[in-house]
Structure formats: C-alpha cells, structure tokens
Amino acid sequence: MWPWGHLAAGYLLYSAYTRLRTGDSPADVPALVALFGTQLPDLVDKPLAWSLSVLPTGRSLAHSLVVAVPVLAVVWVLTARRDARPLAVALGVGWVSHSLTDALYPLLGLHVDEVTFLAWPLLPLPAYEVDQSFAAHVALISPSPTFLFELLLVVLASVAWHADGHPGLATVRSWSGRVLATAIDH
C-alpha cells in the first residue's frame, strides 16, 4: 500500500476506535500520533533496507508484528507512568494498521506466502520482484484498481477527518507558527 493509503486506512480505523471507545472524535495529539504510526514501518524499514542495506527488505523489522507487539508493550508501560496511554493506543493502531494493510492485497489474492514479513524473523521474508529502491517503487504508480481503492480510502478518510473536526490541524498550525516565529527571530 502507498503512504497515502496507509494514512487513510489508519485514520479511519483510529477514528472508528475513538468514536466506539469514547463516543467522541479523536483528540489532536493522539490523532497525529496515529498518523505517524501509519508511516512508521516504512520510515524505518525502507531507508534501512534500500539506502543503507542494513535490513534485508523494505518490509522486515518494523513491519513485523513479532517486533511491533513487544515494542508497543514497552510503549504501553512507559505511557502508563505519564498517564498517556491514549498515545500508546494511537501509535499501536497506526503502526499495526500499516502492517496489516500491507498484507491486505496478498491475502485477497490468496498469496499467504507473501505475508510472512508479519512474522519476521521467525518466518523467512517473501521474495520481491521489484528492485529495492524508492525509484523502482514510484515507477509502479498507475491507475490500477488497488491505486483507485487507496484514493477512495483517502476520500473517505478526508470526509471522516472533516466530520471529526480536523483533529491535529490546530496542533500542526501551532507548531508551524512557533517554528516560523523562531526562524524570524533569529
């Protein structure tokens, strides 16, 4: 799945979770943490695999639930000390949704052998036909059914975000205003 598809799917899941759990729309900072979580596996794995050759593929370490679950358990414990468990939940929803949505297309095609990254290093990684580079993956963008499905997710997430009152926007505006003010002062 492309970054925008992960962002949209993760936001829809986090918004639904929040509404079911509390009856309210997502709060600003947890919504941003969830959105960060939707990108985290690619922010870790792709550069470490494609640019630095530290990991075997762009879907390995941070895409693995064998890694995500214990890391999220530690985050859960650490956030409990600061009464910030909603942030741990938000990160978990975003992160796990990324890994599971990367497994979506192979599972729909009944290619179970292509989702072994979810249990790496306990299971071997699937072989990928595409070169392990950013350029090779960008070249794959085309108006395919999966691409159009992800655009539909973006539209649905945009509608949900609007209905939720644009959670995170005020925080981002505040942060960017501070950065701009600091840059002008120096």
Three-class SS of 97-116:
HHHHHHHHHHHHCCCHHHHH
Number of domains in the chain: 1
93-116 per-position pLDDT tens digit: 999 999 999 999 999 999 999 999
Torsion of CA 127, 118, 135, 110, to 10 degrees: 60
Q: What is the pLDDT of residue 135?
A: 65
69-95 per-position pLDDT tens digit: 999 999 999 999 888 999 999 999 999
pLDDT at 131 over 60: no
Domain that holds residue 26: 3-185
173-184 per-position pLDDT tens digit: 888 777 666 777
Q: What is the pLDDT of residue 30?
A: 97
19-60 per-position pLDDT tens digit: 999 999 999 999 999 999 999 999 999 999 988 999 999 999
| Beta strands in the chain, from DSSP E residues, in sequence order | none
Q: What is the pTM of this model?
A: 0.89
Contacts of 8 (CB under 8 A, 6+ apart): 150, 153, 154, 156, 157, 158
Q: Which residue has tokens 């956030």? A: 79
Q: What are the tokens at 139?
A: 């070249």
pLDDT at 129 over 70: no
